[in-house]
Amino acid sequence: MSRASPTRPDPRAEMEEIGYEIVYKPHEVMAKYNAFYNVEYDGQRIAPPAAERMNVPVNEVWLTELLRPYEKYVLHHELAEIEARADGCGVEEAHERALEADTVWEGDPKWGEFKREINLVPLDRVVALPGFDEELFDRIVTNRPYCDMDELLDVPDIDSERHERLCEEFWCFDCDL
């Protein structure tokens, strides 16, 4: 993040300084995406496909209301993605670069909690569990979003033992979709 201290980023202030509006939407609108943006950055319009599908106005960043307690982490991630996209990265590569930038939050207890939410957890956290591989992770992702950890029992190959491991490591927004 070029405009903030590397030890204490303030992504909301950075985004507002650039001219972005942060908009919270009901979770039922955002459940499949959690957050996205349609912005102008360094003379480029940058928007992932989800923002285009949802007709997000220019210079708005949308987040599900469930992410409000974790705003600084999400906005930091989104801003890192925007910067990577402006540097020429595609959507997936920008996401990976943003995940690397997210390490600035390591050691922050609230960040540790946030990283364990099942709808947001990345591949490496799941495949680190015994009995989980990329294929099973892909099935978990395909069935997102979850509003209850018991919904994971509907994912092929998630038996009671794997479900228990997931419940020990991760948690889920209570979203009542």
Q: What is the mean pLDDT of residues 155-160?
A: 95
- Residue 104 tokens read as 């600035």
Output the pLDDT for position 7. 65
**Residues 46, 37 contacting (CB under 8 angstroms):** yes
Output the pLDDT for position 1. 47
**Residues 22, 75 contacting (CB under 8 angstroms):** yes
Output the pLDDT for position 176. 63
Inter-helix orientation angle 71-86/91-101, to 10°: 130
pTM of the model: 0.85
pLDDT band with cut points at 50, 70 and 90 for residue 130 = very high
Cα torsion through 136, 141, 146, 148, rounded to 10: 20
Cα torsion through 81, 77, 107, 165, rounded to 10: -100
**Residues 35, 5 contacting (CB under 8 angstroms):** no
In percent, how much of the chain has pLDDT > 90? 77
Other CB atoms within 10 A of residue 175 CB:
18
Q: What is the mean pLDDT of residues 85-105?
A: 93
Output the pLDDT for position 122. 86
pLDDT band with cut points at 50, 70 and 90 for residue 5 = very low
Q: What is the pLDDT of residues 28-78, one digit of tens each?
A: 889 888 899 999 999 999 999 999 999 999 999 999 999 999 999 999 999
